[in-house]
Structure 1
């Protein structure tokens, strides 16, 4: 078995522990071998990186291996390169593969690699399993023979080309949003890149649309200000205060590599990614007149199902991991897909998460609808039964994982829930359906945590069900 394993969002590991030069080279060599065997090596690969510690150096380690394998390699040399920019470049240039050196929203001590396939999609399980097998075969004596060319020499010879596709990416987003409507709305927007890579992209788009833009937390800080670079309610207290104090129309935050988004409305309230998905799907259907289903994962709000039904559409449920969402969207021609952790994409753009495009679309929505974000959400939710979410994460002794897995997935034992159980699913973790809600317990694919999410018509009911599950599992 390979010493590197992919999770739901690529490979992520602690810097200096598993995220080391040898492992970056091993993964790169395995992917290079796959490209050769598939007959796509001559088409090349693009590599980009975020602002994390070692990201720029690791991109060079990877590029050196592809150059050594005779595969044309492009490295995106942009001071702030969002992961969606890399995915867009894969799609725009018709490349078979791409890589991002990033650990996304993980803590600062992590780094990692995301692999993308043709069209700018997240690599699916078939691809990642194949790469893992190839890594396993390379480990040991073969690993010592991995060929490479020193980065400066490879650049000088043309084996590695440094590129800047920023303008094309920005223009592609601008062409898909109603810039005239935004220009006429004279909006004031506050940005929080969370010390990540979104500032230049978002600021360029919004200033082009004549928005007034203020930015906080934009310096280069590999420790992310001592906080988790994840746009959650707890992490956006400074943005909440800034929006209220400066009377901004909207506050926008992105995670470390800008593929996820967090939003503060005009009243200073945090809008959960579940709410954003509902708002955008409703907007695309009602105000833009689009037709088509929506895709969500097993831990995302079922209010999307209600909105889809209202407009005669369908909501599809898939496992956690954006590769499942993008795959189902292509299969069903869905107009939007997303997850409760803040990632979403819209038909016609790239197939992966893009916090930059999502932010631009939200700003367009405020301009087109002519109401504040808080008013828009109130308009939507007033038409449907209430949905309240409780989200809990539990760290556990790694030795207990087999025991918990056996309880949930093999023995399939459940707590004696207060709510009435009507069905269960084990597609991804253990999901229990109630008369008017659901609860799911599943292991994180990116961190050593057990996540328990519950959605009910009442917040107290949701929190009670989570507590019943926690006590049952002894967490």
Structure 2
């Protein structure tokens, strides 16, 4: 079985990720695309994992057998570059990327993009899934190589305030986590006058031990390198450079919700942009507070970037962000773009003359400091299913001594309290866990909410 969804499919290299299964997916996608746009271009990319280029070539040949015109990247390609290429070529009907994304190094997968460069709609994903045959087709066709990575980076540089960035004399550490951004991001930032120290930029003995997700503990090396090199910041992207992470000059993680909040203000004040701020239910209240001050309407959606992408398609969106580091800025591209987010952080430091720690501290002073946390509660399948069944009717009167003032069942159960602290319980759609997220004004209050949230998920509170 291949469980193909809006964000594609991935599996272990020593398990279900095989050439046969890759061909089955490419064959299905090719059939659907060819029906809607015969002879159209499909951009094909791949990340920096071993074998990804070979699998991408195979997928391109299968797509070509449907009469499509695949253009396969001539180098490892960040996912945002693929999305940008598709969105800016009216002859393109979609994009096909072979990537393990933020999954461990022993995984590989497939992510597809629609004609607008964005995440597939649910209907399109369902259609492709229905076309997946039980047998791999032997049909192949001709393909051509293309450099769509350079135009993407040239476009980003043209949108940045190069003078402000260069004048700031920034030194940063960049950690691609052995991913698709390696070599490319330092080249872009270097062209803008940034002194870049890159780590994990080429395969070495530690490669299999680094999980390419821009969160702790995988960014520990970056945190240490920032201090060792006297850098003003550490900049991180995940395996396909769709997600971003950052570390301040003291080697401390800057949470993704602060990155979103900082970029909201920067886009409005420096770039003169406006529009809606789209976040999901598990994103910090800080983004909402910043948006309110700047007169930006906030739209809250279920967890999953496809919901944010749906809003971007409607237009009028300034920025869309999620707590996992996925940030999309329509003025810069159609989808999540970790590279654009990091470029804007460098620009913000250059324009303001402030470090990330100073910018972060100002947020706390102006909008109130909060503490955010998440626990992934691994439970037996039957317990999770029981909890999922009970969720629509679950309305606790109090949690951790607090009375909810807002209750939402849009995506799991979200309880908000009068001080804007909140608790979210949500069964994962991909793993046997219930994700319990909470935010409060203190660590102690946050942990109380998390603990009672876990008890609710286990059914231990008797509610």
Q: Is 1:59 the counterpart of 2:50 in the alignment?
A: no
Deviation at 1:426, TM superposition (A): 2.2
Distance 1:117 1:414 in 2: 41
| Alignment match of 1:30 (pick from 21, 28, 31) | 28
Q: Is 1:208 the counterpart of 2:199 in the alignment?
A: no
Aligned residue number for residue 232 of structure 2: 249
- Work out whether residues 173 and 226 of structure 2, in 8 Å CA contact, stay in contact via their aligned partners in 1: yes
Aligned residue number for residue 337 of structure 1: 320
Unaligned runs of 5+ in 2: none
| Alignment match of 1:288 (pick from 257, 260, 271) | 271
Q: Is 1:14 the counterpart of 2:5 in the alignment?
A: no
* Matched residue SS, 2:447: helix
CA offsets, 1:65-88, max 9 Å, x none? 11222221111120x311111111
CA offsets, 1:383-438, max 9 Å, x none? 113322111112333444322322324x5365951221223222222222222222
Distance 1:134 1:426 in 2: 33
Alignment of 1:353-392 (within 5 A): 353-392=336-375
Residues 147 and 413 from structure 1, CA distance in 2 versus in 1: closer, same or farther, beyond 3 angstroms? farther
Aligned residue number for residue 46 of structure 1: 43
Deviation at 1:18, TM superposition (A): 2.5
Aligned residue number for residue 93 of structure 1: 89
Residues 228 and 416 from structure 1, CA distance in 2 versus in 1: closer, same or farther, beyond 3 angstroms? farther
Distance 1:354 1:456 in 2: 29
Alignment of 1:243-282 (within 5 A): 243-282=226-265
- Work out whether residues 258 and 355 of structure 1, in 8 Å CA contact, stay in contact via their aligned partners in 2: yes
Aligned residue number for residue 101 of structure 2: 104
Alignment of 1:306-325 (within 5 A): 306-325=289-308
Aligned residue number for residue 134 of structure 1: 131
Which region of structure 1 is more displaced relative to structure 2, 421-430 or 68-77?
Answer: 421-430
Aligned residue number for residue 427 of structure 2: 443
Residues 260 and 77 from structure 1, CA distance in 2 versus in 1: closer, same or farther, beyond 3 angstroms? same
- Work out whether residues 318 and 325 of structure 1, in 8 Å CA contact, stay in contact via their aligned partners in 2: yes
Query: How does the TM-score come out when normalised to structure 1?
Result: 0.91
* Matched residue SS, 1:383: helix
Q: Is 1:5 the counterpart of 2:3 in the alignment?
A: yes
Distance 2:82 2:207 in 1: 22
Aligned residue number for residue 79 of structure 2: 83
Distance 1:415 1:464 in 2: 16
- Work out whether residues 50 and 197 of structure 1, in 8 Å CA contact, stay in contact via their aligned partners in 2: yes
Q: Is 1:193 the counterpart of 2:176 in the alignment?
A: yes
Residues 227 and 413 from structure 1, CA distance in 2 versus in 1: closer, same or farther, beyond 3 angstroms? farther
- Work out whether residues 193 and 256 of structure 1, in 8 Å CA contact, stay in contact via their aligned partners in 2: yes
Unaligned runs of 5+ in 1: none
Which region of structure 1 is more displaced relative to structure 2, 168-177 or 313-322?
Answer: 313-322
- Work out whether residues 45 and 97 of structure 1, in 8 Å CA contact, stay in contact via their aligned partners in 2: yes
Deviation at 1:245, TM superposition (A): 2.1
CA offsets, 1:426-464, max 9 Å, x none? 222222222222211223344443211111222211111
Aligned residue number for residue 146 of structure 2: 163
- Work out whether residues 344 and 353 of structure 1, in 8 Å CA contact, stay in contact via their aligned partners in 2: yes
| Alignment match of 1:412 (pick from 394, 397, 422) | 394
- Work out whether residues 415 and 469 of structure 1, in 8 Å CA contact, stay in contact via their aligned partners in 2: no
Distance 2:379 2:156 in 1: 42
Aligned residue number for residue 220 of structure 1: 203
Residues 458 and 189 from structure 1, CA distance in 2 versus in 1: closer, same or farther, beyond 3 angstroms? same
Residues 448 and 9 from structure 1, CA distance in 2 versus in 1: closer, same or farther, beyond 3 angstroms? farther
Distance 1:124 1:456 in 2: 34
Distance 1:445 1:102 in 2: 20
- Work out whether residues 87 and 334 of structure 2, in 8 Å CA contact, stay in contact via their aligned partners in 1: no
Instruction: Provide the aligned C-alpha RMSD in A.
Output: 2.0
Distance 2:28 2:268 in 1: 43
CA offsets, 1:21-80, max 9 Å, x none? 222122111111112221x031121111112244223213312211222221111120x3
- Work out whether residues 195 and 217 of structure 1, in 8 Å CA contact, stay in contact via their aligned partners in 2: yes
